[in-house]
Amino acid sequence: MNAGGTNRAKILNDSVVLDLLSIMGHPKTDPILLTAICTFAYDVFECDEIMVDEARMSPYQRAIQNLNFMIPYLGFAMYPDLLQMTRRYHQIQNSVAKSQGDD
């Protein structure tokens, strides 16, 4: 989103952006992916082209309108699942670190 100009316009006009934002409404999402998409959504809604034009904002707002499944991520309900999902990243990082240390 930092690209600006023509590149930003291409990104904002791509239907994949709406698909990505809709992931925020899925019942169970990988925490790393969810974090990245939330950050991306924030960047989208901070764009001047979107922020000042209600008509341009409307499709993005509709893509994230169902955030009911996000609420458990904000409290304790999804915490055990989040821990389980993030353990695999620690395992991958640890195995990469060990393999790099063997060189």
The pTM is what? 0.68
SS3 state at 1: coil
What DSSP assignment string belongs to 59-87? HHHHHTS--GGGHHHHSSTTHHHHHHHHH
Contact in structure between 82 and 31 (CB atoms under 8 Å): yes
What are the domain boundaries of the chain? 5-70
pLDDT in tens, 63-93: 988 887 777 777 767 777 777 777 777 777 7
* Sign, CA torsion 48/52/56/62: positive
pLDDT in tens, 27-57: 888 878 888 999 999 999 998 888 888 999 9
In this structure, which long-range contacts are made by residues 82-90, counting pairs with CB atoms below 8 Å and at least 24 apart in sequence? 82/31, 85/30, 85/31, 86/31, 86/32, 89/32
